[in-house]
């Protein structure tokens, strides 16, 4: 059996699901939410993902003044912001030069940058 591919929901997808859910009367079941998401985004969510998306954890996305970009995938704060910023800048330069970065290369560069940080 081939491994399943991990699919991260984008913030705009969380917003769309929450919006669709709140506009339905009566409120749809989580199973109905899964089917709607499959038809809309061609990806089947798990029940726990639907539950999480509709929870208060994502309530801030309902605000029209939310400062979160709709294309954001990662909402978690960086554990080491200086390291991640330096690594991101380095990777951007590498990508612009046409070279390819792999996970192993990024890990090695992160170790090098870590040694240089105060």
Residue-wise pLDDT for 38-54, tens only, equals 999 999 999 999 999 99
- pLDDT over 90 percentage in the chain: 38
Give the pTM.
0.55
Distance, in Å, from the CA atom of 28 to the CA atom of 56, rounded to the nearest integer, reads 17
Sign of the alpha-carbon dihedral angle for 78, 83, 84, 85: positive
pLDDT in tens, 98-110: 888 888 888 999 9
What is the architecture, at CATH level 2, of domain 11-62?
Orthogonal Bundle (1.10)
> Which band of pLDDT confidence, cut at 50, 70 and 90, is reported for residue 76?
low
d(CA 11, CA 41): 13
In the chain, what are the domain boundaries? 11-62, 81-116
Q: Per-residue confidence at 77, pLDDT binned at 50, 70, 90?
A: low
Q: Which residues of 65-102 are buried (b: 16+ CB within 10 A; e: fewer)?
A: eeeeeeeeeeeeeeeeeebeebbeebeeeeeeeeeeee
Residue 69 has pLDDT above 80, yes or no: no
């Amino acid at each position: 059996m081939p491994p399943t591919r991990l699919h991260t929901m984008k913030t705009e997808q969380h917003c769309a699901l929450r919006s669709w859910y709140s506009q339905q009367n009566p409120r749809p079941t989580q199973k109905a939410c899964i089917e709607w998401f499959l038809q809309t985004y061609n990806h089947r969510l798990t029940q726990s993902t639907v539950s999480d998306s509709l929870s208060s954890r994502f309530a801030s996305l309902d605000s029209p003044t939310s400062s979160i970009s709709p294309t954001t995938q990662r909402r978690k704060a960086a554990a080491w912001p200086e390291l991640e910023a330096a690594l991101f800048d380095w990777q951007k330069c590498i990508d612009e030069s046409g070279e390819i970065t792999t996970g192993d290369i990024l890990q090695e560069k992160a170790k090098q940058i870590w040694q240089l940080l105060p």
